[in-house]
Amino acid sequence: MAREFKRTDRVSDQIQRDLAMLIQREIKDPRLGMVTISYVKVSKDLGYSDVYVTVMPLGDQTQEVALEQSLAVLNHAAGFLRKELSKGIKLRVMPQLRFHFDASVDRGRRLHSLIEQAYQQEQKRVTPDTDSDKPEE
């Protein structure tokens, strides 16, 4: 019988939880927007982990500027975060952290708006005028 969860899956889940706490509590850089870790993928040999994040801009920043600055801050702090993670997670080798933007949230938002537009257009086409269905008196 195969195991239900692979070791890399368990490690990636733990890294995601601990990393979210560390970013929230330890990184005080004002350029860092509101960061959400959506997914962590750890390589089979535990050599590296790809951390996918979404960023919400703070203040008058645009989405692109907030994303660029936040990824720069996170990649710069990757060594510090890796060292702090190794204190809480007992592994022989702590994976190197590589931060990436998670575009799936934006893709989902865009697809949702397209589906909503198509639905509204279909509703207008099916019921163009409700007054013509009423019987005349």
Topology classification of domain 7-126: GMP Synthetase; Chain A, domain 3 (3.30.300)
Domain boundaries, the chain: 7-126
Burial class (CB in 10 A: 0-12, 13-18, 19+), 51: buried
Report strand pairing: 34-42 vs 48-56: antiparallel
pTM of structure: 0.73
Query: pLDDT 10s digit of each residue in the chain, 137 long?
Result: 456 678 888 888 999 999 999 998 888 888 887 888 999 999 888 889 999 998 888 778 788 888 888 899 999 999 999 999 888 888 888 889 999 998 887 788 888 888 998 888 888 888 766 555 555 55
